[in-house]
Amino acid sequence: MTPIIAASNLTKRFRRVLAVDGLDLEVERGEVFGFLGPNGAGKSTTLRMMVGLVRPTRGSVRLFGHDVWRERCAALRNVGAMIEAPAFCKYLSGRDNLRVLYNTGGDCTRKQIDEVLDVVGLLERANDKVKSYSQGMRQRLGIALAILGKPDLVLMDEPTNGLDPQGMKEVRDLISRLSREMNLTVFVSSHLLHEVEQICTRIAVVDKGRVIKSGRVSDLLKQSESYDVDAHPVEAARQAIDGLAWASVEAILDGILNVRLTGGSAAELNRALVEQGVAVSALIPRQPSLEELYLRLMQEQ
């Protein structure tokens, strides 16, 4: 099947600044895809190129098989987007903001507006002026605008930016519901690791405009699994592991060795230690958090 999003050698240079550097990316239908990286990594520039707000210096990005810059109408026909903070007229109601903003590019009925307001939990406040909304409510109104018209793909740039913990949870839950109940493909740009780990099925980690790691969250964490080894004598265990080409000691804390395997297995590690006269009391798998994986990837750059 044709990927919903396909970026090929996507590059953007602003004079001396290379914001996006030969980025390759594919997103399949039905995914909640996390685009993860530090501030200044090129995430927002990439999203702007995806919706035709910024022209690539080189390469291309295709949505539903259509080049965004050359076939803009076809590429964006089934796309909703919330790029950075949503901007609304604060003296209009939430309902009127959606009606005015959406009808600049298409037509929608009051019923359709009320349906999306209900989805984001704002139907009871639909007639209130936006100036009375909290930051979290304005973010949810931005999501309502993005899903109005029932797009197949929704792009969100830092959707929980500036929110308190309760507002962040509300937006996270809403994104999960959009994917599950409305069968939307959601592309979420964020630098918040906990948020991405909870809602995304697949991620791409980006730094300095380049994808440095991508894959399913569960697979990436499993690949980075290490083992806590309780073995005695500790120094003999460390020397035995140092002699293995496929294992390394990452740290020793309170007499417990944290060992990463690049080959072999836990059983082979245990056998190698026993053969060197080391007594192994415990060998416990330890899967890192996304934060630990992310920080290691950043340190390797």
Domains of the chain as residue ranges with CATH: 5-221 (3.40.50.300), 225-300 (3.30.70.100)
CA distance 260 to 53: 44
pLDDT on residue 170? 84
| Nearest CA among 12, 1, 90 for reference residue 50 | 12
Reading the chain (301 residues) residue by residue, the pLDDT tens digits are 789 999 999 999 998 899 999 999 999 998 999 999 888 889 999 999 999 999 999 999 999 999 999 999 999 999 999 887 778 999 999 999 998 888 766 677 888 899 999 988 899 999 999 999 988 889 889 999 998 888 999 999 888 877 888 888 888 888 888 888 888 899 999 877 877 888 898 999 998 889 988 988 888 877 777 889 999 999 999 999 999 988 889 888 888 999 988 778 889 999 999 999 999 999 998 877 787 777 777 777 6
Sign of torsion, CA 128 134 140 142? positive
Beta carbons of 229 and 254 less than 8 angstroms apart: no
CA distance 136 to 139: 5
Neighbours of 66 (CB within 10 A): 16
pTM > 0.85: no
3-state secondary structure of 191: coil
pLDDT on residue 231? 92
Beta carbons of 210 and 45 less than 8 angstroms apart: no
pLDDT on residue 106? 65
Strand order in the sheet with 279-286: 247-253, 256-261, 226-232, 279-286
DSSP 238-260: HHHHHT-TTEEEEEEETTEEEEE
pLDDT on residue 301? 64
Beta carbons of 214 and 204 less than 8 angstroms apart: yes
In whole angstroms, what separates CA 258 from the centre of its chain?
Answer: 28
